[in-house]
């Protein structure tokens, strides 16, 4: 896979990178007919100074930065790719976003949207330079409305702040990505983020009731709203959720809230082998239980966690299983007893009980340490959020062990066993070495091919971005790929939004 070189484009290049394609099909929202489509001449190129000056006039100098340190921060995310933008726009309102996009659309200037920068696939890396449009300053919770069961928020709000605000009035926003204290709701919407509790409650898309989206030409679209049922027209909310900043920029979201469960409890069990723990997952479902979360961890990850946190934290065993439940207090207590007996019957050698919110949070805190424990190994963690059918969990880990033996690269598996979204991490030593990188990329290729042949998906919550771009067409098929590109051309005829990502050859 070719990653764009780390170079800052010359200031005169910014206005000429993108070739004009279709005319502005949204102009005045006129219907498109063959007779109405006419060739559009390319606009005159603007120099960097002209672009900077015109943007300053449009939105104000205080919202624009060309500071070298800021440019470096906005050149990358948590993945390995990096490319400097030409400037950063810190939008503070929908009007700012609209003005910037209308200007960029007219002048064919690339615009890459950035939330909190906590993505794992290079989705917000500005590979064509141009403008990075940050939503970090659009960070207001506009309202929590229990009477309608909704929250209305701007895209820069950090996810856990939404949860905290909902909790204060006895309500809940369930999606809980592992980086919820760092990631923004706009980024969650862009990737359709998940998390452990998706098993029972669903992913981000299940909680989006309405969106305000600025389209590529600067026009503002509102779709959905406070209604919990609405079948009027196409599902445009679903179209924009998970679109990774390539179809429009979300400037406001109306989120569905649910009553906060009155109680929560958890069991954390040790099993002698991963296969035994994986079998327990299906047995829990077969016994009629629907946990809010079911998390599994392999021996490599446990070894790293014991080294970071202390040998006493996790008793001896090669697999760890977290079972979380919630509901009314009496029901939770009864189900906890049933599950405890079931896990012992299924071969658990140690079970820790967490009967209340505080003790549950202590176990989750340990679970969140797993990624840091893997980083402590000094190896580069290639974090792949693949998904397989639940029935193939054991096959996945068996395959991962075989891939580890053949490639010489350690592989750590842990994640959301309840929905088959297992984070399969290649732990690579000296990843900067071109020879090592080639071997690691070859191992990833083998992994993704196996996942697709097993009926799985190459990403469950991180998105495609740059990291999984080489496998996208194989993953979705020729017809779906062509439809993706057609939708992109329709909504972004000049290709200015997040260019260079998985729909660009």
Identical fold between 141-259 and 263-453: no
Bridge partners, 208 (sequence order): 255
pLDDT at residue 225, rounded to an integer: 97
| pTM for the predicted model, two decimal places | 0.90
Which tens digit of pLDDT belongs to each residue from 195-233?
999 999 999 999 999 999 999 999 999 999 999 999 999
pLDDT at residue 192, rounded to an integer: 97
Q: Roughly what angle, to the nearest 10 degrees, separates helices 393-407 and 434-453?
A: 150
Place of tokens 């409305």: 145
pLDDT at residue 45, rounded to an integer: 86
Q: What is the DSSP letter of 157?
A: S
Kindly state the average pLDDT of the residues 20-36.
37
CA distance linking residue 171 with residue 190, whole number of Å: 24
CA atoms within a 13 Å half-sphere pointing along the CA-CB vector of 18: 29
Q: E strands of 43-157, at which residues?
A: 64-65, 87-90, 111-114, 131-134, 141-145, 150-153
Q: What is the DSSP letter of 63?
A: G
* pLDDT category of residue 448 using cuts at 50, 70 and 90: very high
Q: What is the DSSP letter of 346?
A: T
Terminal CA-CA length for the chain:
12
> How is residue 336 written in tokens?
């906890």
pLDDT at residue 33, rounded to an integer: 30
CA distance linking residue 94 with residue 251, whole number of Å: 6
Average pLDDT of every residue of the chain: 91
pLDDT at residue 260, rounded to an integer: 97
Place of tokens 């299940």: 206
Place of tokens 């050149």: 75
CA distance linking residue 221 with residue 215, whole number of Å: 7
pLDDT at residue 371, rounded to an integer: 85
Kindly state the average pLDDT of the residues 238-262.
98
pLDDT at residue 17, rounded to an integer: 37
Nearest one of 326, 327, 273 to 302, comparing CA atoms: 273
**Under a CB-based contact definition with an 8 Å cutoff, are residues 503 and 480 in contact?**
no
The hierarchical CATH code for the domain 263-453 is 3.40.462.40
> How is residue 314 written in tokens?
């996790």
Apex 19 CA angle, 475 and 480, nearest 5: 20
Which tens digit of pLDDT belongs to each residue from 486-504?
999 999 999 999 999 999 8
pLDDT at residue 25, rounded to an integer: 35
Whether 38 shows a pLDDT value over 70: the answer reads: no
Kindly state the average pLDDT of the residues 9-28.
39
Which tens digit of pLDDT belongs to each residue from 387-431?
999 999 989 989 999 999 999 999 999 999 999 999 999 999 999
Q: Which CATH class is domain 141-259?
A: alpha beta
Q: Is 245 left (phi over 0), alpha (psi -120 to 50) or beta?
A: left
What is the CA 500 to chain-centroid distance, rounded? Answer: 18
Q: What residues does each domain of the chain span?
A: 141-259, 263-453
> How is residue 473 written in tokens?
């067409």
**Under a CB-based contact definition with an 8 Å cutoff, are residues 111 and 496 in contact?**
yes
pLDDT at residue 42, rounded to an integer: 63
Residue 435 CB-density burial (10 A; 0-12 exposed, 13-18 middle, 19+ buried)? exposed
What is the CA 472 to chain-centroid distance, rounded? Answer: 16
Bridge partners, 143 (sequence order): 152
Q: What backbone torsions phi and psi does residue 255 show, to the nearest 5 degrees?
A: -105, 145
pLDDT at residue 389, rounded to an integer: 96
**Under a CB-based contact definition with an 8 Å cutoff, are residues 413 and 423 in contact?**
yes
Kindly state the average pLDDT of the residues 123-128.
97
Q: What element of type H or E holds 307?
A: helix 299-309
Kindly state the average pLDDT of the residues 329-343.
98
Kindly state the average pLDDT of the residues 7-36.
37
Kindly state the average pLDDT of the residues 273-288.
95
């Amino acid at each position: 896979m070719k990653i764009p070189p780390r170079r800052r484009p010359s200031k005169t290049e910014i206005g000429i990178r993108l070739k004009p394609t279709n005319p502005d099909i949204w102009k005045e929202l006129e219907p498109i007919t063959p007779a109405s489509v006419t060739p559009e001449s390319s606009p005159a190129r603007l120099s960097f100074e002209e672009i900077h000056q015109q943007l300053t006039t449009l939105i104000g100098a205080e919202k624009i930065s060309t500071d070298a340190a800021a440019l470096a921060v906005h050149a990358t995310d948590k993945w390995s790719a990096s490319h400097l933008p030409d400037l950063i726009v810190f939008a503070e309102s929908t009007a700012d976003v609209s003005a910037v996009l209308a200007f960029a659309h007219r002048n064919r200037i690339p615009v890459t949207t950035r939330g909190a920068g906590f993505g794992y696939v290079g989705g917000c890396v500005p590979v064509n330079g141009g403008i990075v449009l940050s939503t970090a300053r659009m960070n207001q919770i506009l309202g929590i409305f229990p009477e309608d069961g909704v929250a209305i928020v701007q895209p820069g709000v950090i996810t856990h702040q939404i949860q905290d605000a909902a909790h204060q009035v006895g309500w809940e926003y369930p999606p809980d990505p592992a980086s919820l204290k760092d990631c923004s709701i706009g980024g969650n919407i862009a990737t359709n983020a998940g998390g452990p509790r998706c098993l029972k409650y669903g992913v981000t898309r299940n909680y989006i009731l309405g969106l305000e989206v600025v389209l590529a030409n600067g026009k503002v679209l509102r779709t959905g709203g406070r209604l919990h049922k609405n079948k009027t027209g196409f599902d445009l909310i679903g179209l924009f959720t998970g679109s990774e900043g390539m179809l429009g920029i979300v400037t406001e979201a109306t989120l569905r809230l649910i009553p906060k469960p009155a109680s929560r409890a958890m069991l954390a069990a040790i099993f002698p082998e991963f296969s035994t723990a994986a079998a327990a997952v299906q047995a829990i479902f077969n016994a009629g239980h629907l946990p809010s979360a079911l998390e599994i961890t392999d021996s490599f990850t446990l070894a790293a966690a014991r080294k970071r946190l202390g040998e006493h934290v996790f008793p001896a065993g090669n697999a760890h299983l977290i079972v979380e439940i919630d509901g009314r207090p009496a029901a939770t207590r009864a189900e906890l007893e049933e599950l405890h007996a079931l896990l012992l019957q299924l071969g658990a050698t140690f079970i820790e009980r967490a009967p209340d919110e505080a003790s549950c949070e202590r176990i989750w805190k340990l679970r969140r340490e797993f990624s840091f424990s893997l980083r402590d190994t000094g190896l580069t963690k290639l974090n792949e959020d693949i998904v397989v059918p639940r029935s193939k969990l054991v096959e996945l880990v068996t395959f991962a062990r075989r891939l580890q033996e053949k490639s010489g690269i350690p592989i750590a598996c842990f994640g959301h066993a309840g929905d088959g979204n297992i984070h399969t991490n290649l732990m690579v030593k000296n990843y900067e070495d071109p020879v090592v990188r080639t071997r690691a990329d070859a191992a990833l290729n083998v992994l993704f091919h196996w996942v697709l042949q097993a009926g799985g998906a190459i990403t469950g919550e991180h998105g495609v971005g740059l990291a999984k771009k080489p496998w996208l067409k194989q993953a979705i098929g020729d017809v779906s790929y062509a439809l993706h590109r057609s939708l992109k051309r329709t909504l972004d005829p000049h290709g200015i939004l997040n260019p260079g990502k998985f729909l660009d050859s």
